[in-house]
Structure 1
Amino acid sequence: MAQEDRSQQRDAADPRPLVGEPLCLDLLNTRWNDDGVRHDLLDSTDGLAVWLRSAGLDDRAAADQATLDAALQTRGILLELLDRGPSPQAMDALNQVLERGALHYRLGLGGPESHPRTDDPAWLPSWLAATDYLRLMADSPGRVKPCAHPNCVLYFYDTTKSGTRRWCSMAVCGNRAKAARHYERAKTGR
């Protein structure tokens, strides 16, 4: 589903400031800062249910403790990979998540079909996020970016033509940065 389509389908109960990113980034963005307050949507199975619904996975995975544990583990691995870069430990951890599932192909009435399967249903959202990370890194790793605002922990996939997007949201973090620059200029008299 295109980013714009997923953004428009945002779950009204989803409190996150940025939704609709590719699945691996959407999982990372289940934690965010809001005016100095840290939030974590995955602090409960209820929050997991919101994320699964928002990501379109609620009909494919249960919002239970096993799925939450798998999602938290995978989120930590993805965060380490994007924050610190690939290390042998992080790559091994991601490979362990990837080993939990595979794509199975079938011929259906409409032609070829692919169906992801995992050794444990609780790992399906995590496996899908891990495979999505591989896809993004293979296609255009330079388009996966952290927000440039120093207090923001969100990641986004830069879809701009020039590839120069800096903020998770111009309306939030971009405006905060502009306001801070304006304040500094006014304070110094420039």
Structure 2
Amino acid sequence: MAPRFRSGAGRLCLDFMRTLRLRGMEGATEELPTPEALAAWVAQLGPYPAGVAVPVPTQDVLRQARQLREAVYALLVAARGDSGPGGCPPGDRALLNQAAAVAPPVPVLDEGGLVTYTAADPVRAVLSDVARDALDLVTSAMLARVRACAGPRCAAWFLDTSRPGNRRWCSMDTCGNQSKKSTWRTKHGSPDVN
């Protein structure tokens, strides 16, 4: 059974960054340990029709994907800092530009009126989408809405699309609920178990 990856960060590049779970914390976990895991991520979060098998990439493509993920992170850190997107390290900028230059998935309208996507190299095409999305995000007004989750055991970033712009958690179902439970226990004390 293919692993299920976290989504819902609001941007494809932020979902891709989440494949290094607990970034910078003890217990950080690589969610793309194998080429098969990368293919599964592309199948789940890419634009391809459900049930279409994504070819397993090479170890070299997996290495490039992980490098791209770290370049996306470096770009976002720079863009959110004082130097802006121009502060992205040159090597990371080159990786992003190289990935963005690959042809993205191509929309195809079928005879039934549905749009599906295709690509000669489905994995590299989605990685191109990731790079293009990151470049678009850091040069848009939406950058101001990128947040880090307030959960103490979470390092996920997300795009705050709430109307007031004060969302605190990557997901209300996980980090938000855990925080509310912790607050309730602090206020009301833990029940005595005898």
Q: Same fold (TM over 0.5)?
A: yes
Between 83-92 and 50-59, report the one with greater CA deviation.
83-92
Q: Which runs of 5+ in 1 are unaligned?
A: 1-11, 110-116
Question: Alpha carbons of 1:141 and 1:184: their partners in 2 closer, same or farther (altered >3 Å)?
Answer: same
Q: Secondary structure at the match of 1:156?
A: strand
Paired residue for 2:173? Answer: 171
Q: CA deviation at 1:79?
A: 1.9
Aligned-partner residue type, residue 56 of structure 1: G
Paired residue for 1:133? Answer: 134
Provide the aligned length of Structure 1 versus Structure 2: 167
Q: Is the 8 A contact 1:52 1:63 kept in 2?
A: no
Aligned-partner residue type, residue 145 of structure 1: R
For the pair 1:97 / 2:91, whether they are aligned, the reply is no
Q: CA deviation at 1:72?
A: 0.3
Q: CA deviation at 1:134?
A: 1.5
Paired residue for 2:115? Answer: none
Match of residue 69, structure 2, among 66, 70, 75: 75
Aligned-partner residue type, residue 134 of structure 1: L
Distance across 2 between alignment mates of 1:49 and 1:102:
17
Distance across 2 between alignment mates of 1:162 and 1:179:
24
For the pair 1:55 / 2:45, whether they are aligned, the reply is yes
What per-residue deviation string (whole Å, max 9, x for no partner) do you get for residues 30-71 of structure 1? 1225xx854322111111111110122667875221221111
Distance across 2 between alignment mates of 1:44 and 1:99:
22
Paired residue for 1:180? Answer: 182
Question: Alpha carbons of 1:137 and 1:87: their partners in 2 closer, same or farther (altered >3 Å)?
Answer: closer
**Greater strand share, 1 or 2?**
1
Calculate percent identity across the aligned residue pairs: 29
Q: Which runs of 5+ in 2 are unaligned?
A: 110-118
Distance across 1 between alignment mates of 2:68 and 2:55:
15
Distance across 2 between alignment mates of 1:144 and 1:72:
21
Q: Please, what is the CA RMSD of the aligned residues?
A: 3.7
Question: Alpha carbons of 1:178 and 1:122: their partners in 2 closer, same or farther (altered >3 Å)?
Answer: closer
Q: Is the 8 A contact 1:61 1:67 kept in 2?
A: no
For the pair 1:65 / 2:65, whether they are aligned, the reply is no
Q: Is the 8 A contact 1:32 1:40 kept in 2?
A: yes
Distance across 1 between alignment mates of 2:28 and 2:147:
20
Q: CA deviation at 1:148?
A: 1.4
Question: Alpha carbons of 1:89 and 1:37: their partners in 2 closer, same or farther (altered >3 Å)?
Answer: closer
Distance across 1 between alignment mates of 2:90 and 2:165:
27
